Amino acid sequence: MIPNVLSIAGVDPSGGAGLLADLKTFSALGAYGTGVVAALTAQNTLGVTGVHAVPVAFIAQQLDTLFADVRIDAVKLGMLGSSEIVSSVAAALRRHGVTRLVVDPVMVSKSGHHLLAPDAVAALRAEILPLAEIITPNLPEAGVLLNCPPIRTLADMRTAARALHALGPRIVVLKGGHLDGADSTDVIDDGVTQTELHSPRIQTKNTHGTGCTLSAAIAALLPRHADPLAAIRAAKEYLTAAIAASGQLAVGTGHGPVHHFHNLWKP
């Protein structure tokens, strides 16, 4: 059965991140994509120039209407923007019994624009993380969630991953892309075991939407894998190949997108 996967996220008009990137990822990995718009942005590969939140009641209406008709096999959560939206989405997830939830705690864009209001961080920590099957923070996001000093080493990552697990998610995927080195190492923590996933660090400026793409890939693959770690491994392999093929695209003059359809389109 082809899984139906939902993204609740913001819209990036350039298509490299957010809801549009999630839908591309779902499609590339054989899942039927659905989407609920939680925020609108004015954005391109150079940066974000504006954010417009969708009314909270309408986000809830989108969710309730979708769940009333469509079987949803997994949910990916991206940019929410405000504490009111976080609380409303958390209530909807509980209301509809969502268990296969992948959370990408989007806080800052690649260009440095803050996408999550400070008062929403506490709401995300308290209301969303305990519902999550998997969370996928990068190192700056982990630092904000834990209110800890900068994470600078692999040893710091191991400590932070276990601390993040204590906030409630069943599995933590702590991404190490911000560290230096020839490899990009992620630390996976399920509360008992820590696993490290390694991939070569690809020298490219085309990294717009990498976090969105990884979390969307995990959500798309979770319904097809009995073992969540297998889905996480496959998602990381997909993202690494999408980054490697990003030079085939010519989108914008800043941080370009990854190539979501690298395995389907001919150069």
Which residues are designated catalytic?
175, 207, 209-212
Using DSSP's 3-state secondary structure scheme, residue 203 falls into: coil
Q: Which residue has the tokens 């864009």?
A: 109
Q: Whole-angstrom Cα distance, residue 105 to residue 110?
A: 14
Burial (0-12, 13-18, 19+ Cβ within 10 Å), 266: exposed
Specify whether the CB–CB gap between 216 and 25 falls below 8 A: yes
Specify whether the CB–CB gap between 173 and 188 falls below 8 A: yes
Q: Whole-angstrom Cα distance, residue 121 to residue 98?
A: 21
User: Kindly report the CA angle at 16 between 210 and 207, in degrees rounded to 5?
Assistant: 35
Q: Whole-angstrom Cα distance, residue 61 to residue 57?
A: 6
Q: Whole-angstrom Cα distance, residue 256 to residue 33?
A: 23
Interacting residues of 203 by C-beta distance below 8 A, sequence separation 6+: none
CA-nearest of 81, 6, 16, 85 to 50 is 81
In the DSSP assignment, the letter for residue 126 is I
In the DSSP assignment, the letter for residue 209 is T
What the block records as the tokens of 180 is: 């230096």
Q: Whole-angstrom Cα distance, residue 113 to residue 94?
A: 30
